[in-house]
Structure 1
Amino acid sequence: MNSRDSILAAVARNQPARQPLPEVPAFVSEEADLAEKFARVAVSIGSKVFRVKDLEEVKQILLKEYSGARRIVAAFPELADMAEASVAPGADPHTFADVDLAVLPAQFGVAENSALWVTDTHLPLRVLPFICQHLALVVPQERLVPLMHQAYDVIGAQEYGFGTFIAGPSKTADIEQSLVLGAHGPRTLCVFLMEKL
């Protein structure tokens, strides 16, 4: 037996006894209107929030809010007349360095902190939410959960290769203690709470 195997065998013999997981209390939110709570928190951290009926309404708002955007990429075929709506699988991420606006779906949102769960299930390219100058996320209003505790219950039941929570535009105050937007990602975040997707 070599030294590596003897070390691993010693570690395996000296494992602590298994303990049952602790009981986690059921966390309950007192908030009646999750969309209102989500919007209030999202605005307080720098996002814009719009309640919309459908993707046509999303398109009209985007055309107004981002009229100067030169390159728009969207994960919605319904927006193909204003954006690149089909990204080739395996596309070189470096070719998206000039994206002004990315319009992407979020699987659900969390009312307590306005975090939106985005996975590679519906992303044309993983880098898009981070490399664009401006980000717009669309989430069905009925897919809001009150607290992060419920969010982790939802995530635990899903299968995905990549997932991230996004809340607000990218910001940091590490640079000379001045707030800088867009230092590590999009400068703005626009959230569309849609009645139905």
Structure 2
Amino acid sequence: MSARDNILKTIAMNQPEFLEIPVIDTSVVIQYDDVYTQFKTVLQGIGGKTELISDIAVIQEQLAADKKNLSFVVNTIPALGDVDEQVAFLAAAELERVVKAYVKGTLGVAENGAVWVYESQMINRLVPFICQHLVLVIEKENLVDTLHQAYQKLDVSKEGFGAFIAGPSKTADIEQSLVIGAHGARSAVIYVLE
């Protein structure tokens, strides 16, 4: 028997006992009196911004102004106007120039300020991570209290890729100082549609 086989046999003999996944009673997890207020508070605490709006025209006007004034703006949301389908075929070197990206989110989580985005909503999975400024749009009715509730509502196997995005890119690894935009979007604004 080879050394490799001995190692693998030893590992196989020293496995921990199998434990069933715990059943979590979601009726006893955190519930917020005002889900939007909690979402907004947490998001601001992690460097993002949120705005509650009642008319999508607000975002449409901002997108039109951004497309006029900024060098490379990407829209992936059909409700806002023309979708920039060409980004599906662009490589990272070309997407690196994206100044601002508008992306539709599926749902938001109040406990951590995260928004779930499916790959199809991104058009290109690099878009929300490579842009300088990220705008996410979700409906207020799609805010949930916890990740437990989020996973009950989501079909994470629906597509090949999806992600929870919680505000702008950030790290605190560098001398224990929080750095925003270290390896991704420098800002994130989440519009919540009533």
Q: Same fold (TM over 0.5)?
A: yes
Q: Indicate if the aligned counterparts of 1:77 and 1:86 stay in contact, CA closer than 8 A.
A: no
- Retained in 1: the 8 A contact 2:74–2:84? yes
Gap change, CA 1:68 and 1:48, over 3 Å in 2:
farther
User: What is the aligned partner in structure 2 of residue 125 from structure 1?
Assistant: 124
**Structure 1 position 45 matched with structure 2 position 58:** no
* Alignment-derived partner of residue 145 in structure 2: 146
- How many residue pairs get aligned? The number is 193
| 1:186 equivalent in alignment to 2:191 | no
User: How far apart are the structure 1 equivalents of 2:183 and 2:170?
Assistant: 7
* Aligned counterparts of 2:46 and 2:160: Cα–Cα separation in 1: 28
Residues in 2 aligned to 1:85 and 1:44: alpha-carbon distance in whole angstroms: 32
Letter in 2 for 1:40: T
- Cα deviations across residues 104-133 of structure 1 (Å, max 9, x unaligned)? 011111011111111112221000011100
Counterpart-to-counterpart distance in 2, 1:15 and 1:103: 47
How far does the alpha carbon of each residue in 1:6-59 deviate from its partner, in whole angstroms, 9 at most, with x for none? x99999999887654333232433312211211121112211111122331113
Gaps of 5+ in 2: none
The answer to whether the aligner puts 1:60 opposite 2:61 as a matched pair is yes
Distance 1:10 1:192, change over 3 A: same
Change (3 A) 1:20 1:44: closer
More divergent stretch after superposition (43-52 vs 85-94): 85-94
Report the equivalent of 1:69: 70
Identity %, equivalent residues: 39
- Equivalent AA in structure 2 for residue 129 of structure 1: P
Q: Secondary structure at the match of 1:98?
A: coil
Across the aligned residues of Structure 1 and Structure 2, the Cα RMSD in angstroms comes to 3.0
Say which SS state the counterpart of residue 73 (structure 1) adopts: strand
- TM-score (norm. length: structure 1): 0.80
Q: How does 1:78-93 map to 2 (within 5 A)?
A: 78-80=79-81, 85-87=84-86, 89-93=88-92
Q: Which amino acid aligns with 2:55?
A: D
Bigger fraction of residues in helix: 2
Normalised by the length of structure 2, the TM-score is 0.81
Q: How has the CA–CA distance of structure 1 residues 20 and 29 changed in structure 2, closer, same or farther, with 3 Å as cutoff?
A: closer
Q: CA offsets per residue over residues 124-171 of structure 1, 9 Å max, x none?
A: 100001110000000111011101111222335651211111111111
Aligned partners of 2:30 and 2:42: how far apart in 1? 15
**Pairing 1:169-184 to 2, within 5 Å after superposition:** 169-184=168-183
Match of 1:99 in 2: 98
